[in-house]
Amino acid sequence: MPGVVRILDLVKNYELEAVTVRALRGVSLTVDEGDFLALMGPSGSGKSTLLNLLGCLDRPTSGNYYLGEEDVSEMEDDQLSEIRSKYLGFVFQSYNLLAQYTVVENIEVPLLYQDRRLSEETQRRCVELAELVGLGDRLDHRPMQLSGGQQQRVAIARALVNDPHLILADEPTGNLDSRTSDEIMHLLAKLNQAGKTIIMVTHETDIAAWARRVVRMRDGHIESDEPNPHPNGHIALVTRH
């Protein structure tokens, strides 16, 4: 079966006034279903640019991007929105919760943009997800009343609510201390074990150690692409059993 993500010779240039910034200079990558990929590399190497393209938040200058069966590199804005709403979940470095909303309401947001009604059932699903990430007792709290780690858990629950094919995380532990980072990575590893495909950008090798595969970038190229035979979470989960 084809990979969840297939990109072919992806190029992204930023046209500035004087110069053209070549953020991606022909990147090809296939990510299979159930994979957990860590994207590493020095600052400015194009990790976020690639992740934004994978997240259908931007369009490539050239090259192709197949998400599942669909070629999304040529899609219109509205179609991209629909792809994001159907197939993708985002986890950001700075959590990006909506301050006016409670935990449950934040988790519900992606459902507002699907062609489905909100119901008791969707409400229940949001509560279940809150419980899954360990916030069953904070359902009506607002982001301001939560710690960074808790906010990131809400963000993960939100990324799961539309049952996405692919979860994209840009430095999800970048704002957290190492203990909380471990908790978050546990959660992501658990999700991956349950079958979710995850692509995560990180600077830290001990965070990348949780992934099954590590891709390193430099100057808009993929420098190396190696499997991680002993991902952290796997062992942790195995030992726990």
Partner 1 sequence: MNSDSPLLVLWDKGSRLMVLALRSLWLHKLRASLSVLGIIIGTGAVISLMAFGEGSMHDALEDIKRQGATNIIVRSIKPPDDGSSQRRSFTVTYGLTYADFERFQMVSSVVGSVPMRIVDPQEIRRMQYMHRGRVVGTTAAYQNINKIQLVMGRFLVDADEEEGDGDDVGMRNVCVLGSDVAEALFPFESPLGQSVVLNKHLFVVVGVLAERMPTGAVGGSSVSAEEFNNDVYIPLRTCRGRYGERIYIRQSGARSGEQVELHQVTLTVSDMDKVRITGDAIRDLLERNHIKKDWGVTVPLDRLEAAERQKQRFTVLLVFIASISLFVGGIGIMNIMLATVTERTREIGIRRALGAKRRDITFQFLIEAIVQTSVGGLFGVLLGLGIVYGVPYAAEQFFNSHLPAKLHVMSIFLSLGVSICVGVLFGWYPAQRASRLDPIEALRHE
Q: Give 86 or 90: the residue with its C-beta nearer to Mg ion.
A: 90
Would you say 106 and 158 are in contact if contact means Cβ atoms under 8 Å apart?
yes
**Binding residues among 109-128 for partner 1 as defined by CB under 8 A:** 109-110, 112-118
Site string for Mg ion, 17-56 (x = CB under 5 A): -------------------------------x--------
Q: Give 14 or 113: the residue with its C-beta nearer to ligand ATP.
A: 14
**Binding residues among 11-40 for ligand ATP as defined by CB under 6 A:** 14, 16, 21, 23
Figure out which of the listed residues 4, 10, 38, 49 binds ligand ATP, where binding follows CB under 6 A: 49
Q: Is 58 in the site for partner 1 (CB under 8 A)?
A: yes
Instruction: Quote the CA–CA distance of 241 and 239 in Å, as a whole number.
Output: 5
Q: Is 43 in the site for ligand ATP (CB under 6 A)?
A: yes
DSSP string, 57-120: SS--SEEEEEETTEE-TT--HHHHHHHHHHHEEEE-TT----TTS-HHHHHHGGGGGSSS---H
Q: Is 231 in the site for ligand ATP (CB under 6 A)?
A: no
Q: Is 21 in the site for partner 1 (CB under 8 A)?
A: no
Give first-to-last CA distance, the chain, whole Å: 31
Question: Where are the alpha helices (H) located in 92-240, listed in sequence order?
Answer: 103-108, 120-132, 148-160, 178-193, 205-208, 232-240
Beta carbons within 8 Å of 176's beta carbon, 6+ residues apart: 148, 149, 152, 184
Instruction: Quote the CA–CA distance of 184 and 202 in Å, as a whole number.
Output: 13
Q: Which residues bind Mg ion (CB under 5 A)?
A: 48
Q: Which residues bind ligand ATP (CB under 6 A)?
A: 14, 16, 21, 23, 41, 43-49
Q: Which residues bind partner 1 (CB under 8 A)?
A: 52, 55, 57-58, 77-78, 81-82, 84-86, 90, 92, 96-98, 100-101, 109-110, 112-118, 158, 162
